[in-house]
Amino acid sequence: MNKNKLLAIFVFQLFCQNYLLSQTQPENYVFFNLDRELIRNASFYDFRQFAGAQIKYTWRSLEREKDVYDFSTIEEDRLFLLSKGKKLFIQIQDVSFSSNIRNVPNYIIEDPQYHGGINSQYEFADDNDNNPRETGWVSRRWDRAVAERFHKLIMELGKQFDGKIIGITLPETSVDFGSTGKYYPIGFTPEIYREAIKANMNATHLAFNQSMVIQYVNFMPGEWLPWDDKGYLSSLFEYAELLKIGIGGPDLIPYKRNQMNHGYSFAQKYQGRIKLGFAVQEGNYNQKNEQTGWTLTVQEIYDFAKNYLKTNYIFWYPEEPYFTRDVKPLLLREIR
């Protein structure tokens, strides 16, 4: 066989491989947030195009007191979904987006050894960090004492659920203490925070070596891409590949500039090398498509996730009217 014919065969095989890769269907889950009781609606569990549910569980609800764990809600949800032929992704929440909600146990806040346990996040009126407005609370992930307790929680969860749930997601990396350092919490620097996120990734990888691990990575404090690249975000993708865990993110909004410069850019680079999972969350459905100037369609969201990001998992928030009117009919067309 001559060289030209061999080359033609090779090119054709490569084309077929790439075509098949592009045609791979992502698994679709419903992101119920904290509304776990909704998994009992037949409109969800009878819809075969949904592989399962993604549910948030707060650290506070899982560790009522120090070393007193209660995983009964996870087990109840897992068994119910299993009875309906569905899978469970859990997300462990240590952050809130309301100044009235704290998602860590009381002892973490009250015991002095945890240095308050949580810190406020802010929005600012300008780049000089003026007129801060509290937007929620995040656990002191960078504080070794707090991190050790979070890792203990993850280890205990792994003992009970590794291999019994399809996966576990860790909440987004984005935290906002401003850019000047005036509102940095005690002990916080962007470099220390990066290492803390890596430690969380590693602890979850060690606890869950059968179930899928996905770290939500969207933005990192201390850099803003592409103009101010400190390597914080890129290092998390590199570390995920090293650990053989997944990466994903909240707010699946196609072509949104900030996301395109950050998480989406690296997700595209690492597709096929690590598992990817992205969530369509509340408020995403009516965002503007920055390529067209028109409101996004669910078809555009799906096509972006499947063909641009080549994500392995999509988590759909059941926001109406979009969910019933658009999401379910789309999945009926796409998944036979």
Q: What is the CATH number of the domain that holds 176?
A: 3.20.20.80
Parallel/antiparallel/unpaired status of strands 87-93 and 167-170: parallel
**pLDDT of 18:** 44
**pLDDT of 3:** 56
Nearest one of 237, 316, 307 to 281, comparing CA atoms: 316
**pLDDT of 9:** 40
How many domains, the chain? 1
19 part of a folded domain: no
**pLDDT of 254:** 96
- Do the beta carbons of residue 44 and residue 30 sit within 8 Å? yes
pTM for this entry: 0.91
Distance spanning both ends of the chain, measured CA to CA:
41
* Dihedral Cα 15, 17, 21, 23, nearest 10 deg: 70
1 part of a folded domain: no
16 part of a folded domain: no
4 part of a folded domain: no
Domain carrying residue 116: 28-334
* b (16+ CB within 10 A) / e for 267-300: beebbeebbbbbbbbeebbebebeeeeeebbbeb
How far, CA to CA in Å, does 305 sit from each of 138, 141, 313?
A: 28, 30, 9
**pLDDT of 15:** 40
13 part of a folded domain: no
**pLDDT of 298:** 98
Residues of the chain with pLDDT under 50: 6-23
120 part of a folded domain: yes
165 part of a folded domain: yes
21 part of a folded domain: no
